[in-house]
């Protein structure tokens, strides 16, 4: 099969589908006051982080996105306990603020949210478990509609989404639970039949970062006899980490759990995908460099649970509204892989279509492959990107390649060095086609 036909065959397409979620606005009868007051009181009541504004100063809740700052960032992605900020509309010059209590990703662009809020019905009363449906692509939202006759204290009304569409200014993050980390590197396990780094084990070097955790990612090829699962461990204690696992072409994580990872303590990862990608995020900044190691294991090996705690699957936030999407590899000196095989002389990594993404590749520069090209799914189409950076696998500092468009060509000396590449793309830049890297 021609490799570009193969790429087109396996490229990802996302369809938006309706949710069967059960939604219910609950009328508590409790007084919460204006929506701004309710949001402030329930997020710490700290005027240094949530200064006076809104009706208090004759302005509006829509100003919260610009004026409130809890120290954990802001963005377009909904997160638990974040503040949802609606812009003003023709019947409400003040806008609205609500507290997000639950997030369910329905597709690449659609999220179902449950929120708690006050004064939506201009009665200064609190309603909880209110259903909104958010479109991250165009930053619009709809709210469930409850007829006036059902707005009774203690009532729980299962309504339908209303017809009005509201503009969303964004989300203000109020706690560290957004799991933001700085991307440090990518590793690969692409050929369990072959001994060596990038084949049946690999190492990502994690580095300390101010006010941020560290993110390391791996790509793993399933083999029933030699690599039916993998073991993760680190050379020194990482504290609490978030581990998220998905099939390479998936846009949502199948597994998401938190583990307190001590030095050399193993945690086992299983997957039913032929190719799997995973990301590990430390939930607190590291104070030292450490090795994050992944190695192949089989069904005969012990399963290490490591007291994992399942948490809600979300995206991997790698700072400033970029979300890690996928990774690939060029392990170009593995003798047991077919020439031209994926993970060897070319590879394809998934990208998100509806938000800014960071995609990574690992590359071993050898005499077989000292020049590479990165493109949109192997096409010659020119695509603007927000930067392509490269570094040696164990270094903390990235170098700018100077590429601001795809295709991008990179050359390195064929000295068997391992490099990591990161590509930042805008929302909708790649149309879910994915990024292809291949040896020239």
Query: For residue 75, what pLDDT is reported?
Result: 85
Class of domain 25-177: alpha beta
Residue 93: phi and psi, rounded to 5, are -75, -5
105 closest CA partner among 331, 212, 256: 256
Query: Three-class SS of residue 440?
Result: coil
**CB 55, CB 97: distance < 8 Å:** no
216 closest CA partner among 254, 244, 258: 244
pLDDT tens sequence across 409-431: 999 999 999 999 999 998 778 87
CA quadruple 315, 425, 202, 392: dihedral sign: negative
pLDDT tens sequence across 95-134: 999 999 888 878 878 999 999 999 999 999 999 999 999 9
Q: Where are the beta strands (DSSP E) in 366-431?
A: 371-376, 383-384, 388-392, 399-400, 405-406, 408-411, 417-425
What DSSP assignment string belongs to 84-114? Answer: EEEPPBTTBTT-EEEEEEEEEE-SSSEEEEE
Length of the chain: 440
| Sheet with strand 267-270: strands edge to edge | 201-206, 290-297, 229-234, 267-270
Report residues of the chain scoring pLDDT below 50. Answer: 1-22, 54, 177-178, 339
Measured between alpha carbons, how far is 336 from 345 in angstroms, rounded to an integer? 13
| pTM as predicted | 0.66
Task: Write down the domain spans for the chain.
Answer: 25-177, 179-439
pLDDT tens sequence across 240-299: 899 999 998 887 788 989 899 999 999 999 998 999 999 999 988 898 999 999 999 999
Tokens 């809740």 found at? 61
Measured between alpha carbons, how far is 259 from 308 in angstroms, rounded to an integer? 5
């Amino acid at each position: 099969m021609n490799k570009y036909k193969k790429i087109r065959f396996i490229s990802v397409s996302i369809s938006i589908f309706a949710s069967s979620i059960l939604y219910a606005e609950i009328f508590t009868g409790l007084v919460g006051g204006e929506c701004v007051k309710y949001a402030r009181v329930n997020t710490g009541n700290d005027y240094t982080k949530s200064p006076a504004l809104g009706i208090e100063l004759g302005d509006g809740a829509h100003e919260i996105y610009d004026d409130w700052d809890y120290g954990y960032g802001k963005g377009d992605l909904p997160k638990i306990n974040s503040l949802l900020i609606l812009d003003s509309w023709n019947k409400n010059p003040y806008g609205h603020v609500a507290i997000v209590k639950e997030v369910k990703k329905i597709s690449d662009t659609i999220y179902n949210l449950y929120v708690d809020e006050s004064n939506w019905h201009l009665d200064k009363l609190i309603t909880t478990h209110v259903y909104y449906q958010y479109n991250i692509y165009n930053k619009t939202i709809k709210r469930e509609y409850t007829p006036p006759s059902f707005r009774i204290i203690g009532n729980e009304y299962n309504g339908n989404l209303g017809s009005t569409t509201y503009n969303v200014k964004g989300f203000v993050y109020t706690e560290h639970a957004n799991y933001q980390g700085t991307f440090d590197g990518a590793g690969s396990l692409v050929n369990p039949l072959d001994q060596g780094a990038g084949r049946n084990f690999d190492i990502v070097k994690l580095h300390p970062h101010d006010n941020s955790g560290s993110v390391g990612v791996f790509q793993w090829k399933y083999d029933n006899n030699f690599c039916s699962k993998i073991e993760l461990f680190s050379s020194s204690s990482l504290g609490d980490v978030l581990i998220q696992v998905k099939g390479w072409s998936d846009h949502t994580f199948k597994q998401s759990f938190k583990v307190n990872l001590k030095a050399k303590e193993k945690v086992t990862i299983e997957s039913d995908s032929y190719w799997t990608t995973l990301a590990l995020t430390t939930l607190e900044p590291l104070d030292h460099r450490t090795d994050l190691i992944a190695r192949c294991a089989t069904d005969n090996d012990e399963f290490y649970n490591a007291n994992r705690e399942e948490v809600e699957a979300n995206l991997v936030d790698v700072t400033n509204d970029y979300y890690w999407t996928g990774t690939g590899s060029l392990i170009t000196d593995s003798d047991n892989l077919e020439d031209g095989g994926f993970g060897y002389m070319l590879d394809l990594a998934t990208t998100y279509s509806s938000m800014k993404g960071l995609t990574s590749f690992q590359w071993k520069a050898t005499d077989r492959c000292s020049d590479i090209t990165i493109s949109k799914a192997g096409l010659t189409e020119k695509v603007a990107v927000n930067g392509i950076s490269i570094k040696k696998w164990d270094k903390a500092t990235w170098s700018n390649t100077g590429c601001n468009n795809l295709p991008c060509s990179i050359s390195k000396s064929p000295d068997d060095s391992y490099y990591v590449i990161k590509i930042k793309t805008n929302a909708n830049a790649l149309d879910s086609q994915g990024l292809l890297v291949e040896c020239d």
